[in-house]
Amino acid sequence: MKIELICTGSELLTGKINTNASYIGSRIFNIGAELTYITSVGDKKQDLTQEFKKALERSDIVIITGGLGPTFDDITVETIAKCLNLEIYSNEEVLKSIKNYFLQKKIHHIPKINEKQANIIKGAKVFKNCLGTAPGQMLHFEFKKSKKKYHKTLFLLPGPQKEMRIMFEENVEPFIKSYFSNIKKNTVLRVFGLSESTVAEMIKPVIDNTKFGDSKSVEFSILANKSIVDIKFSVSGIDEIIVDNTMRDIKLEFKNILKNDIFGTNNDTLASIVGKYLVEKKKTVSLAESCTGGKVAAAITDIAGSSLYFKSSVVAYSNESKIVILNVKKETLESFGAVSKETAKEMANGSLKLSNSDYAISITGITGPNGATEGKPVGLVYIGFADKNKTECFKFNFSGTRKDIRKKIVDTTLDFLRRKLID
């Protein structure tokens, strides 16, 4: 069964992130199905007509988001009805709910343009919108191609994600689930510290293994996103025990090869895994950041419950703050410079004493585009680590724009702490 998504809205063609596509794609993937096509189309009838006709040719289920509002550029209902040669009627129940929506907001006169949202394609099932005025619609119909008839299903959902999500979870998701008699399970293994090509080469023996690779019930894919590589695999079948055993075997094979380069699964992040380990070990951490400007602390505290293990962060951007707050020696800065292993070590020790945490990490470096000197290029970074027993420092050289380098430093720092916690 092929499922396709069409997202309408001219704003999607001018740089706005398509959050509906990522949300729907992940939900469908998690129930053991997948989207075969995702299309973004502007608010023009001819463009939507063209893309919808393509979708009818190739997909069994078509989901359309957006274009259900009251304004002139909301053209989804009338365009789709015309494509299917179906009538539109004004649904009294929907019109009543729209009026009630405005009354609840103490608006006693419903704007005339909102009455348009009560227009329903004949034969469609209506989905109530509890957060807005645009109802969703589901339509089953026959599509003729080469003298054959095909049963198709269409979902029309509002564009605002809060409204769309409720309708999708309550109506679309159960419908799609009902069409999959086979069990299909998916897992993502998340890798840090290796390039996409390196990971692909390392796991090739597992994928080529006739036990897995030649089986139609097993699917593999790999996706790189900046410094993180995701290995995705799915197993389908009738017997859940066999599916689970196969999933376990594949996961074990990958872990035997990649070992600690795998930092988590599915929706895990480096920050969430670090938090998990700190809680398990009942340890705390503090930070002294210079070139990252507090970004590592922000990543850690984005995780709910981080107050259990995160003590403090000092953003010591200037040499003066390094001296006054972290007790870095003036002589150290004069002799070795702010970007040096000596300064990084003293920053880590200063943070440890200041916070009385179990671990302290310091970061100092040159993120560019300026600031490089002889022997100290843009991308040079020192990460210091201190605990009650020792103080260490590690040197890194990153490349890219200022934004790229700062992101790499944040991820590397979190991964560095993760590996320390594993050891």
Residue-wise pLDDT for 133-189, tens only, equals 999 999 999 988 888 889 999 999 999 999 999 999 999 999 998 887 678 888 999
One domain, residues 221 and 280: no
Report yes or no: 343 and 322 within 8 Å, Cβ to Cβ.
yes
- Do 217 and 295 have their domain in common? no
Residues 385, 392: contact at Cβ < 8 Å? yes
Give the pLDDT of residue 213: 55
81 and 224 both lie in a single domain: no
Last residue of one domain, picked from the residues 177, 211, 229: 177
Antiparallel, parallel or unpaired: β 125-127 and 136-145: antiparallel
**φ, ψ at 291 (rounded to 5°):** -70, -20
Compute the distance between CA of residue 245 and CA of residue 189 in angstroms, rounded to an integer.
17
**What does the pLDDT read at residue 157?**
98
Beta bridge mates, 396? 381
Structure confidence at residue 281 (pLDDT): 96
**Domain extent for 213:** 183-265
Tens of pLDDT along 62-108? Answer: 999 999 999 999 999 999 999 999 999 999 999 999 999 998 888 87
Largest CA distance in the chain: 87
Asked if residue 319 and residue 379 are part of one domain, the reply reads: yes
The percentage of the chain sitting over the pLDDT mark of 90, rounded to a whole number, equals: 83
Which two structure tokens, joined as six digits, stand for 81? 């009805």
Looking at the fold, whether 142 and 16 belong to one and the same domain comes out as yes
Tell me the CATH number at 118.
3.40.980.10
- pLDDT for 29: 83
pLDDT at res. 170: 96
Q: What is the CATH number of the domain that holds 207?
A: 3.30.70.2860
What per-residue confidence (pLDDT) applies to 181?
65
| Residues 253 and 188 grouped into a single domain | yes
Chain-wide mean pLDDT for the chain?
Answer: 94
CATH number of the domain encompassing residue 305: 3.90.950.20
Residues 235 and 308 in one domain: no
Residue 354: its H or E element? helix 341-355
Which residue is listed with tokens 């092929």? 2
Query: In one letter, which amino acid is 327?
Result: N
Interatomic CA distance for residues 273 and 268, integer angstroms: 7
Would you place residue 22 in the very low, low, confident or very high pLDDT band (cuts 50, 70, 90)? very high
Which residue from 239, 298, 303, 253 is spatially nearest to 275, judged by alpha carbons? 303
Are 116 and 140 in the same domain? yes
Last residue of a domain, one of 248, 265, 282: 265
The predicted structure's pLDDT at residue 313: 96
DSSP 195-229: -HHHHHHHHHHHHH-TTTTT-TTEEEEEEEETTEE
pLDDT in tens, 291-350: 999 999 999 999 999 999 999 999 999 999 999 999 999 999 999 999 999 999 999 999
Provide the sign of the torsion angle of the four alpha carbons 88, 92, 97, 99, taken in this order: positive
* pLDDT classification of 419: cutoffs 50, 70, 90: very high
Write the CB contacts of 325 (distance below 8 Å, at least 6 apart in sequence): 314, 316, 350, 354
Residue 286: phi, psi to the nearest 5? -130, 165
- 223-266 pLDDT tens trace: 998 889 999 999 988 888 999 999 999 999 999 999 999 999 99
Confidence at residue 116, expressed as pLDDT on a 0 to 100 scale: 94
Is 168 found in the same domain as 219? no
| DSSP states along 43-70 | S-HHHHHHHHHHHHHH-SEEEEES--SS
| Measured distance CA(243)–CA(135) in Å, rounded | 39
**CA pseudo-torsion sign 193, 316, 274, 419:** positive
End-of-domain residue from the set 129, 147, 177: 177
Residues 259 and 385 in one domain: no
CA distance 102 to 132: 10
> How many domains does one find in the chain?
3
Pick left, alpha or beta for residue 349 (phi over 0 → left; psi -120 to 50 → alpha; otherwise beta): alpha
